[in-house]
A and B are shown apart, each in its own frame.
Chain A
Amino acid sequence: MSAALVPEAAWIAVCTVDRLWIDRGAAALVEGEQVAIFRLADEILAVGHRDPFTGSNVMARGLVGSRGDVPTVASPLHKQVFDLRTGQCLDDPEVTLGRWDVRVVDDVVWLRRGDA
């Protein structure tokens, strides 16, 4: 990876866009952390891969959908639904997946730990 492609120090390149299928998640290992990346029709979003209800790393394998205008993913284990933009669980306000910033530069997907 050439240094010129790295926009900021904290960003990490993960894969090319075409490795991601629309509306289907993929997991990534980013400095020891597991991230779930979702490519929607017109944006790419990333949240934590660990399902907070079971402690298992499965979120990228959940079904993508929407609730009202909110893009969502449902845990494949017990079906709790999360907001893909914030990581917030929509069925339980106490629980969140955490979120990651996503950037696409020249078809490469970059991730950076989000603050929310």
Chain B
Amino acid sequence: MERKRLIVVGAGMVARRLVEALVERGATAQWDVDVFGEESRPPYDRVALTSFFTVADPDELLLGDQALWRAPGVRLHRNARVTGIDREARTVTVHGKQEHYDELVLATGSYASVPPVDGADLPGCFVYRTVDDVTELRTWVRDRGQQLGHPARGVVIGGGLLGLEAAGALRELGAECTVVEFADRLMPVQLDLAGGQALRRLIEGLGVEVRTSTATTSVRTGRGTKKVGRMTFADGETIPADVVVFATGVRPRDELAREAGLEVHPRGGVMADEACRTSDEHIWAIGEVACIADRVWGLVGPGYTMAEVVADRMLGGAAAFTGADLSTKLKLMGVDVASFGDAFAAKGGSLEVVYADPLAGVYKKLVMSDDASTLLGGMLVGDASAYTSLRPMVDNELGSDPAAWLMPDGVEPPSTGALPDTATVCSCNNVSAGTIRCAISGGECTDLAGVKSCTKAGTSCGSCVPLVKQIVNAELESQGITVSNALCEHFDVSRSELYEIVAVTGIGSFSELIEKHGRGSGCDICRPVAASILSSLGRGHVLDRENARLQDTNDHVMANMQKDGTYSVVPRIAGGEVTPEGLIVIGQVAAEFGLYTKITGGQRIDLFGARIEQLPAIWKRLVDAGFESGHAYGKSLRTVKSCVGQTWCRYGVQDSVGLAVDLENRYRGLRSPHKIKLGVSGCARECAEARGKDVGVIATDHGWNMYVGGNGGFTPRHAQLFAEDLTTEELVRAIDRFLLYYVRTADRLQRTAPWIESIEGGIEHVRDVVLNDSLGLGEELDAQMAAHVENYADEWAQTLADPEKLAQFGSFVNAPDTPDPDLAYVEERGQRRPAGPVVIAGTELSVRTKEVSA
């Protein structure tokens, strides 16, 4: 069969889904698919655009598997704007050249529309639609703040969904912010007056000023500049404004269609039928540019449905777009807002059940059928926890008193079993409860991750994930499959459960633990876990003979084993601060024992190539000079990285080195599920890379900002803001509790970032536990940390004082001082390294070296 060519104009969210659907259905066997997009990036998650204020790397927003763009038959053209359509010749113009199509799909999305206000094009005025918009806005706010010497004053015009997202983003950037809305309330499309007012109070509580029923008449320059400086309202009032964001709505990008003479709706949007076909039978329109059933559908969910429809049509199918769920749930600056179904009781003859608590800032409304049995829709402000359970129930019988759903401790959400198969669980991707159940019962998937990838449920806005998870687990259970989180073959419980067992029972040894709660004699998985738990809880010292058999060789000899069986030695250099005398001792020790010396990535010095029998002598020298173990071997605190800070740096606003040293000395030796790293920067320039650490601290003019959940490694994560402007005392307490809550509940070898993600309620929950003591654990955790600090002693100094333990360092039981005769070294760049080839990219590179003796 001759191959045909499908051209897609626009490389946005919906275009991507179309290509994905085509590839999945094998359409690329017949079609060459060419996607032309004007932006410089592959399709990214516009819905999550606001997160770009904190993630820094726009690639984190890219959608799905990038391999899609390398699939046979698929081509993505970036920086490629389509400037014209010739319907007769069936070509489009790109970079002045004609490209032929057999079928053409318009997926050009929308413009952010700017109202005809004087001065709306001044430098400092922005819209909020693309990654580039956000990048520019971000730079402007930062630079302007520095030039002015105070935080930039921001104004967002438009109090709808986008406007409030933009306001949140400005706050995140440290700008002051006013939201100006023409209607009498915020989010007029989703909320009624009472809901809008509740939202207003919550938003104002976050330090954002709100003006409703206000029309903007002009934006003007500041005195003596050509940049935005003021703005004026219809009532004549003028307010200062250093940055203005227009979020007054979107307008479909239908200009290509207009010029090509396609039918276009008077209010904008390319007219298309149920098949998404326009007035030209070879041209289709999907996503925000399409006007179907007399309206444009400004959400991504309906756009995805349209993409699926067109993919089906390309293969000769008869799928149709028959409308979509416009329910929305948002978290704006931490405030929950949701609106679903017939939220405005537009159908008439319905009952409204309302719950409002102005003090708590909560407003909830359910729209019910006239007999109060069937749920028609609703809106939730301030607390949208019921959303995931309620939305799929729309048009179904609620089964209990509607008022009960609205109470603060509402009804227990019904078991998901009550949810009909037809109920839409994921509205972004139009996935029903039945589809999810089938994926499990048909054996296609066996867990949440599998269901997400095969049904796409939960892969867009993510708000349905808790519900999807419940359905998946219920379905698995009904099949008799239990979800195992057993540690290993010797223990049926997870690490955190084992921790609770040890904490509650007071068990103090591994033998007792495995005898009572496990089987066999343990292994390299459960033994170190038990050792770590016993140590975290202050039971049994890491060096005890009973515990020795639980430790990895690294913990056992308190050094890191290298590939040839020798060890590395890392003395603690708290905060990276070291005296010249200290440096000299390290140098002397290294020279004396012939150790290879290197500065680590953790701001300290590593000495490599120490034989096991040399470790005590090396440490004797180091301990005598005032050094102690750096725990480079432990699943415990590693380093607290610092920048030089206020003491020397002209920008520093706090003593970052001092704090780093104090923190390192406080948490040294604390055993944990995985290693823990901290960082402290003296100002927002962040030279200590604190946001790449499990706990990052960044100095502010008023104190310290605390970040959590960062790491480097294979899956790097940026730490997220946890609390702002803490005093040193508040900070230390928050870190104490954060670390111990992690130690208590995390899984084996789980760093803080995946731990936070895995925990029900995520970072919000952790914040509640740590800052608001929501579980009432505070005192216990504080006491546990106090005991840790109190009982800390240097493991190496203790070892040197214990002859029995020292005897463990002999190389051979029958020849304790004989070096391993097989060790061999060569010299390279003036130091020793293990003999053996240097392998570079698979080929052996011979290195000219000099033999030296072990």
Contact = CB atoms under 8 A, between A and B. Distances in A.
Contact of A63 (B552, B814, B815): B552
Nearest to A50: B822
Contacts of A72: 523
A26 B810 CA distance: 9
B523 A29 contact: no
Contact of B565 (A14, A32, A56, A74): A56
Contacts of B814: 14-15, 28-30
Contacts of A56: 563-565, 822
A57 B822 contact: yes
A57 B564 CA distance: 7
Interface in B211-250: none
A68 B519 CA distance: 10
Contacts of B552: 63, 76
Interface in A21-74: 21-24, 26-30, 32, 34, 37, 40-41, 50-51, 54-58, 61-68, 71-72, 74
A54 B812 contact: no
Given A19-B807, A23-B549, A76-B552, A65 B813 contact: no
A50 B528 CA distance: 23
B647 interface: no
B818 A57 contact: no
B521, B811, B814, B815: most-surrounded residue (chain A CB, <10 A): B814
Contact of B813 (A27, A50, A63, A67): A27
B295 to A, nearest CB: 60
A21 B489 CA distance: 24
Contact of A67 (B523, B815, B821): B523
A77 B561 contact: yes
Range of interface residues on A (Cβ < 8 Å): 35 or more
Contacts of B821: 32
A62 B549 CA distance: 10
Interface string B565-605: 10000000000000000000000000000000000000000
A30 B821 CA distance: 12
Interface string B798-828: 0000000001100111110010111000000
Interface residues of B, number: 34
A52 to B, nearest CB: 13
A19 B564 contact: no
B564 to A, nearest CB: 5
B556 A61 contact: yes
Interface in B536-562: 545, 548-549, 551-554, 556-557, 561
Contacts of B553: 58, 61-63, 76
Contacts of B564: 54, 56
B520 A66 contact: yes
A27 B811 contact: yes
Nearest to A13: B814
B746 to A, nearest CB: 21
Given A24-B548, A61-B553, A63-B528, A15 B813 contact: yes
B812 A27 contact: yes
A28 B813 contact: yes
Nearest to A16: B813
Contacts of A28: 812-815
B301 to A, nearest CB: 46
Interface in B494-526: 520-524
A76 B814 CA distance: 22
Nearest to A27: B812
Most B CB contacts (10 A, CB to CB) among A27, A62, A81 go to: A27
Q: Which of A20, A32, A76 gathers the greatest number of chain B CB atoms within 10 Å?
A: A76
Interface-centre pick from B524, B554, B808 (highest chain A CB count, 10 A): B524
A19 B548 CA distance: 14
A51 B524 CA distance: 16
Contacts of B527: 63, 65
Contacts of B815: 28-29
Contacts of A76: 552-554, 561
Nearest to A56: B565
A57 B549 contact: no
A17 B815 CA distance: 16
22 contacts: A20-B813, A22-B549, A24-B549, A26-B813, A29-B812, A29-B815, A29-B818, A30-B814, A40-B521, A54-B564, A57-B565, A58-B565, A62-B553, A63-B527, A63-B528, A63-B553, A65-B490, A65-B521, A65-B523, A67-B489, A67-B523, A68-B489
* Ranked 3 nearest A-B pairs via Cβ: A65-B523, A23-B549, A61-B553
